Amino acid sequence: MSAPLTSLDRPNSYIGRSVPRPNAKRLLAGRGRYVSDLRLPRMLYAAFLRSPHAHANIISIDAGRASALEGVHLVATGVDLAKICSPWTGTLDHFKGMISAPQLPLPLDRVVWAGQAVVAVVAESRAIAEDALELIEIDYEDLPIVADIDSAREGGGPLINPGSANNVCFRSQLDNGSVDDAFAHAAHVVEEELSFGRHTAVTLEPRAIVSDYDPSAEMLTVHHATQTPYQFQDLYSRHFGIPEARVRVIATDIGGSFGMKLHVYHEDMAVVGLSILLGRPVKYVTDRIESFVSDIHARDHRVRARMALDAKGEILAMDVLDLTAIGAFSTYPRTSVVEGNQVIRLIGAPYRFKNYRARLEVLFQNKVQTSQYRAVGHPIACAVTERLVDMAAAKLGLDPFAIRAQNLIADDAYPQTSPTGYRFEALSHQACLKRLHEMMDYDGLRAEQAELRKGGIYRGIGIAAFVEITNPSPAFYGVGGARISSQDGAIISLTPSGEVRCLISVTEQGQGTEAIISQIVADQLGLAQEHVKVITGDTEVTPHGGATWACRGAGIGGETALQATRALRRNILEIAALILQEQPSALDIIDGEVVDAGTRNQRMPISEIARIAYFRSDTLPPGTQAQLTVSHHFAPQGYPFAFTNGIQGCSLEVDVETGLIKMLKHFIVEDCGRVINPMLVDEQLRGGIVQGLGAALFEECRYSETGQLVNGSLADYLVPMPMEMPDIVIAHIETPTADTDLGAKGCGEAGTAAASACVLNAVNDALAPFDATINSIPITPARVLKALKRF
Amino acid sequence: MSGFDESLLDDADETERVRFVVNGRKVACEVAPRETLLDCLRNALELTGTHAGCEMGACGACLVQLDGQAVHACLMFAVQADGATIDTIEGLTESGVIADLQAEFHRRNALQCGFCTPGMLVNAHELLSQVTRPSRRDIRDALSGNYCRCTGYEAIVDAIDAVAKARSERGGVT
């Protein structure tokens, strides 16, 4: 009773409230509508024959027996599809000097990774299509393989792009300040080389597509398990020469995406081509083994970095070299260099120092492409920075909290520009650090660690501060020539019975997009949330927009919905004012009723306004045209990104006999600006942390010397399971962005951003008594034992 | 050369008639010997709530109840299930036996993309029918054949824990 009233005590106030997702009930009842569930009349099924070689010339393909198999409708090679699909090239203009070979759905004469799709079969069932694959004979001529970063950098070795001088996709350099001078005058220098293995998204639903070309209507409809339907509408239109308005992409329920489902995949382009060639719907769902060899992988970096500090422990400078291996092509349309670019620009981001130099080298190799996956570049930048900070603390005899307290950008020092050129509007590192210290009971954990160490139990405590990129503006992809929208759109209507329908371009993959949009609309309009229906993921229906990636759903999509709703509200109140002979400003809407703004006395339900406007417009004053549908677009302005920040901490135990690591507890203090639905934000953070912990401890795409992925199944590739994962304690600081009325920033990548850095620091902390260090991620038992010289 | 392979055609054409009780109703299907129970449920019976995640029994997305026990529908041929009683997420939903679990998952947002969720529910349902008051560790252990890639598992553990408590306070298993 004594708690003061907050904004949440207002009727219909939903912004900031933990409400469940309306659409989750369907998924819980097994009534999801995933693309892999879809079956259309006359639908056929595609399967692909994949290259067993990492690098080889295709000498000949004999598909005669496959074509003759009953039930087979089409066998298509690269040549067949190249006739109807123009090639694509994964470069962006603002990455100067970047190269990548043109790509086609299926290769014409050469394969460049083991698992690359070479021939497509379309048949009456997937099983028949797979039977036919076994009847295809391909004659290959092996070529030398570029297997890793070192062989890619060697001069005179095999080239992945014939005609190019080397295997370099892109080189870049940042140099801000007097780095050499700072190192020359530093009291302390710490240096480390860290390596980060390849891992992959492992969405529970593999990639899925049903392409339906109707030649009579010259219309292409693609049901595509993707995050970015508008991007694919544009791509299918341009590469297959179909007018954009005749291409429809529908993305209904998506069984996990994490950035993996927004890249162009060769098979997807092939399936669209196959449906055009056949004039029938064609379905393709990757099986799990295909997912491992054809979904994008991520990370694969080797970073050498050093940090200079003065005698008191002030960071003076950082100097970095990031080498990253991206596979045989750069992905399209977002490219495979964005991750490296973000690594070198995010390193050191939480800290106050001026002198920074970084070089980036992006290299081709005979492996599947790497590209954007949850928290692009963040975990690497964070691990490099935070490891060096911990090493500096150890060298100076400072506590990890103390060195951060000394060097983090002060909460009252904004706006700030990082030495790498990022502009920060307002961050809260100091507040987060302080909060984490209390939340972890840091002093208690340290005391416990010391006590247990006497008994041969080695626990480690790790912390890692991070900066996350959210709400990207056109400066991200648009500037490089990519047709990827940074704006979003909403069409919001008052229905004749007084409910609201909101079509919005941000998409739902389980984050709760539809829930938060309905919260914002209900909140701004003064309706109960159940009276708002949100529709996403259909280019024929929803307005064009960037959709959901890089943490832009709440910050950009939410602001779009907010502004659209305010416009609709103005229109409703204008009509109400005409009917009630009042000034619109004297009216408000609460619980679906137009009320007097001052007294809250009910005047009329908005359903009555809708009824009159739609069915009895003759009773409105002459000249009134009721606008009960509002279309509104919003593009971010002001800061190019809404940066968020936070800090994570963890406590773990290393078994020095087996090398096994047991996570005990994980903590995060996170600042994503205005929180729209705390429960959904917390679940995003937990999910993100668990993906980060997977990367830190288990996940690695391991290749043989011949370029074969050797752990491409869920029995061999380990992802985190419930038993290995700790409980995760969450706290929030809210620093809303002033660039929007809503003030929301993203939160989906914050968990992943710092989890591996945190674990790396904690494991090194646990191993400190042994003078052993770990500098590779994932931190497998074998690597722990090797560091301990026990393996 | 015709390239016509008679043996393959025979294999592909061969079907067996199988009968099950699926979600309380007798059904009969013509299935190829190589078809899994998962294929049969999803394709012939259009029960798409049972999902294919890995097709090797690792991820748990395809769990169904077969004669009252949770089994991987991807690891069993449809012909092997002949004569069995099978309950999928659709049937468990309709009968109401997991309504409290579903409500608690919903209330706590113990799911995101929802693809693993039917398998999670089948597994949780089995756990709670065997152990009245599992510890959180028991719950985590029992779920360790069900991958979730979106959540941090914690809300799922919380939801199952809460249902176990509520059921035992009501006087045992429903």
Q: Give DSSP secondary structure letters for A479-547.
A: GGT----S-EEEEEEE-TTS-EEEEESS--SSS-HHHHHHHHHHHHHT--GGGEEEE-SBTTTSPP---
Inter-residue contact A712 to A594 (CB < 8 Å): no
* CA distances to A336, A345, A346 from A422, in Å: 20, 8, 8
- Report d(CA A623, CA A625) in Å as an integer: 6
Inter-residue contact A351 to A408 (CB < 8 Å): yes
Candidates A581, A573, A490, A584; CA nearest to A532 is: A490
> Helix (H, G, I), strand (E, B), or coil: what is residue B69?
strand
> Helix (H, G, I), strand (E, B), or coil: what is residue B128?
helix
Inter-residue contact A757 to A387 (CB < 8 Å): yes
| Structure-block tokens of residue A234 | 């544009």
| Structure-block tokens of residue A174 | 């940042």
Conformation bin of residue A456: beta by default, left when phi > 0, alpha when psi is -120 to 50 = left
Please judge whether B54 and A253 are an interchain contact, meaning their C-beta atoms are less than 8 angstroms apart: no
> Helix (H, G, I), strand (E, B), or coil: what is residue A681?
helix
- Report d(CA A138, CA A161) in Å as an integer: 22
Mean pLDDT by 10 residues, chain B (174 residues): 53 83 97 95 97 96 97 97 97 98 98 98 97 96 96 97 94 54
Please judge whether A204 and B113 are an interchain contact, meaning their C-beta atoms are less than 8 angstroms apart: yes
* Residue the block writes with tokens 């009233």: A5
Pairs of residues, one from chain A and one from chain B, whose beta carbons lie less than 8 Å apart: 201
- Report d(CA A367, CA A55) in Å as an integer: 9
Inter-residue contact B53 to B116 (CB < 8 Å): yes
- Give me the residues of A, 24-43, that contact B with CB < 8 A: 24-32, 34, 36-37, 39
Name the amino acid, one letter, at A420: T
Q: What angle do CA A233, A235, A237 make, to 5 degrees?
A: 65
- Give me the residues of chain A with pLDDT under 70, please: 1-5, 7
What ipTM was predicted for this assembly? 0.95
* CA distances to A106, A397, B24, B84, B108 from B67, in Å: 46, 64, 12, 6, 30
Q: How far is A291 from chain B (nearest CA, A)?
A: 10
How many of the other CB atoms lie within 10 Å of CB of B11? 14
For testing contact with chain A, the best of B55, B102, B113 (most A CBs within 10 A) = B113
Name the amino acid, one letter, at A68: A
| Structure-block tokens of residue A626 | 């009721």
Q: Dihedrals φ, ψ of A645, to 5°?
A: -150, 175
Q: How far is B145 from chain A (nearest CA, A)?
A: 8
A69 touches chain B (CB under 8 A): yes
Q: How far is B163 from chain A (nearest CA, A)?
A: 15
B3 → closest Cβ in A27, A65, A686: A65
* Cα within 13 Å of Cα(A777), Cβ side: 34
Candidates A552, A559, A514; CA nearest to A252 is: A514
- Report d(CA A542, CA A533) in Å as an integer: 13
Which residues from chain A sit within 8 angstroms of residue B105, using beta carbons? 24, 28
Inter-residue contact A87 to A266 (CB < 8 Å): no
pLDDT value, residue A3: 63
How many of the other CB atoms lie within 10 Å of CB of A704? 11
- Give me the residues of A, 194-223, that contact B with CB < 8 A: 201-206
Which residues from chain B sit within 8 angstroms of residue A19, using beta carbons? none
Chain B's closest residue to A132, CA to CA, is B8
pLDDT digits (tens, 9 = 90+) for A568-619: 999 999 999 999 999 999 999 999 999 999 999 999 999 999 999 999 999 9
Inter-residue contact A735 to A671 (CB < 8 Å): yes
> Helix (H, G, I), strand (E, B), or coil: what is residue A589?
strand
A21 touches chain B (CB under 8 A): yes
Q: How far is A687 from chain B (nearest CA, A)?
A: 4
* CA distances to A197, A199, A202, A462 from A293, in Å: 15, 11, 11, 34
Q: How far is B28 from chain A (nearest CA, A)?
A: 20
Q: Dihedrals φ, ψ of B77, to 5°?
A: -75, 150
pLDDT value, residue A5: 65
- Report d(CA A673, CA A617) in Å as an integer: 43
Q: What angle do CA B112, B116, B119 make, to 5 degrees?
A: 135
> Helix (H, G, I), strand (E, B), or coil: what is residue A661?
strand
Please judge whether A205 and B113 are an interchain contact, meaning their C-beta atoms are less than 8 angstroms apart: yes
> Helix (H, G, I), strand (E, B), or coil: what is residue A395?
helix
Inter-residue contact A61 to A77 (CB < 8 Å): yes
Q: How far is A255 from chain B (nearest CA, A)?
A: 5
Which residues from chain A sit within 8 angstroms of residue B114, using beta carbons? 24, 26-28, 32, 253, 255, 510
Inter-residue contact B89 to B122 (CB < 8 Å): yes
Q: What angle do CA A503, A507, A509 make, to 5 degrees?
A: 140
Which residues from chain A sit within 8 angstroms of residue B155, using beta carbons? 683, 686
Q: Dihedrals φ, ψ of A430, to 5°?
A: -65, -45
Please judge whether B90 and A30 are an interchain contact, meaning their C-beta atoms are less than 8 angstroms apart: yes
Mean pLDDT, chain A, rounded, equals 96
pLDDT value, residue B173: 47
Exposure pattern of B65-75 as b/e (b: 16+ CB <10 Å)? Answer: bbeeebbbbbe
pLDDT value, residue B13: 64
pLDDT value, residue A791: 82
- Report d(CA A297, CA A365) in Å as an integer: 13
DSSP A590: E
- Report d(CA A107, CA A78) in Å as an integer: 5
DSSP A53: S
Chain B's closest residue to A716, CA to CA, is B58
Which residues from chain A sit within 8 angstroms of residue B32, using beta carbons? 127
pLDDT value, residue A1: 44
| Structure-block tokens of residue B122 | 């089948």
**pTM listed for this prediction:** 0.96
Query: Which three-class secondary structure string do you get for A465-492?
Result: EEEEEECCCCCCCHHHCCCCCCCEEEEE
